[in-house]
Structures are given as structure tokens and as C-alpha cells.
A and B are shown apart, each in its own frame.
Chain A
């Protein structure tokens, strides 16, 4: 499974847009890019997934360039409740047999 590299931590203020970039230089053709969010004392929670270009849902946007060697999770107008650890994962999808490979994640701290 492709290894991912992302910032260890980021700080932001409420109302700002936060972009977290993940590098995955060895991504395979059939790999998807998935982001999970984890709050303290909770399990990880799926945020968004994409294969190429741009994906948007009610929580975030995911930007993936043509070479797919990196991706950027964009959180619009963050609030204090967005303080969490964000994990970028890469692997095949829709196989039913995917074990998630977590890296160190990016610890986002949102301040007033």
C-alpha cells in the first residue's frame, strides 16, 4: 500500500479555510485517496474520498492533481469543533477487503 506523508500539525483560527496536503508518490493506478477525521477519545470517521480531480461534500473538498502524487483536503471556514487529527489514506476501494493503513496524521488545532 502506498505510503503517505502529511504535516504533523497545523494551527488555524476560526473562520479560516484550512488546506492539508498529503503526498503519496507511489500511488497505484487502482488506489483511491481517503481522508478520515479523529476527535479525542473517539474512533476515526470517514470524511471524503476521491480518485482524481475534485470531490466536494458537505464537510470538505478534496483536490487531486492529474499525476495523483498528492492530494489536498480543504476545510472551509473551520470552527473550534474541527480540532482533530486528520488522516490521509491510500488504497484500493470497492474490494471489500481493504485494511486501512494509517499514518501519523495531521493534528489540526483551531483557536478562537
Chain B
């Protein structure tokens, strides 16, 4: 079974440019999460989708970040325009809750974003 995949693995852009990160969750997982770790900091929650709906976007830093999950499958996270402080590793995770499991989140390998 394929795990969570993310694309690209690494992106280097200049300040002011736009970047779009993609996450493909495990097939059948309704829950999709975005997290990020900026340099020297802890992994922080950004937002949570349940299918195509945003359940919790309390961690989104500002309106330069836009996440979508059209059709409830893959998700994109767009940063426009990118700033230096956006540099870090962006993780995607997915989970499925059926009331009997521990709703473990499965993480992708992350996308390393470098803004110059």
C-alpha cells in the first residue's frame, strides 16, 4: 500500500515568487493535515481537511497561504507571495477514523522549501 506522498521534495524560490506544494494522502483517508517546521522550531500544525472541507485552519500563519483539497483526494498548499520566513519543511499527513483505531496519522516525507 502506498504511503503519503509529497511533491516536490525540495523547492528553491526567490522571495515574492509563488510555490505550490502537493500532497497525496493514503487512498481512502478522509483526514488530511498540513504541518510545517521552520528552521530551529518545532513541527507546527497548519490545517486539517475532512474530505474536501476545512475542519480547522487555525494554524495557517497568514493569508499568503492557501490550501485546497478539491474532490477530497489530493491537496495543494500554495504560498503567494513567498517570504524568507516561509522557509522550512512542510509535512502532510493523513488518517482515517473509524471509532475503533487510534487514529494514527501517517506522514509524508515532507517538502523542503527554501526562499532566497
Contacts and interface: CB of A to CB of B under 8 A. Distances in A.
B50 to A, nearest CB: 7
A97 B93 contact: no
Interface in B1-58: 4, 31, 33, 35, 42-45, 48, 50, 55-56
A100 interface: yes
A41 B109 contact: yes
Contacts of B99: 94
A102 interface: yes
Given A41-B109, A43-B93, A43-B110, A99 B104 contact: no
A102 B104 contact: no
B50 A94 contact: no
Interface residues of B, number: 29
Given A94-B99, A102-B43, A104-B42, A44 B33 contact: no
Given A46-B104, A97-B56, A102 B42 contact: yes
The A interface, classified by DSSP as helix, strand, loop or mixed, is: loop
A100 B50 contact: no
A43 B4 contact: yes
B59 interface: yes
B107 A49 contact: no
Interface of B: 4, 31, 33, 35, 42-45, 48, 50, 55-56, 59, 91-93, 97, 99-110
14 contacts: A32-B102, A34-B102, A42-B109, A42-B110, A43-B91, A44-B105, A46-B104, A49-B102, A94-B101, A94-B102, A97-B48, A99-B45, A99-B48, A101-B45
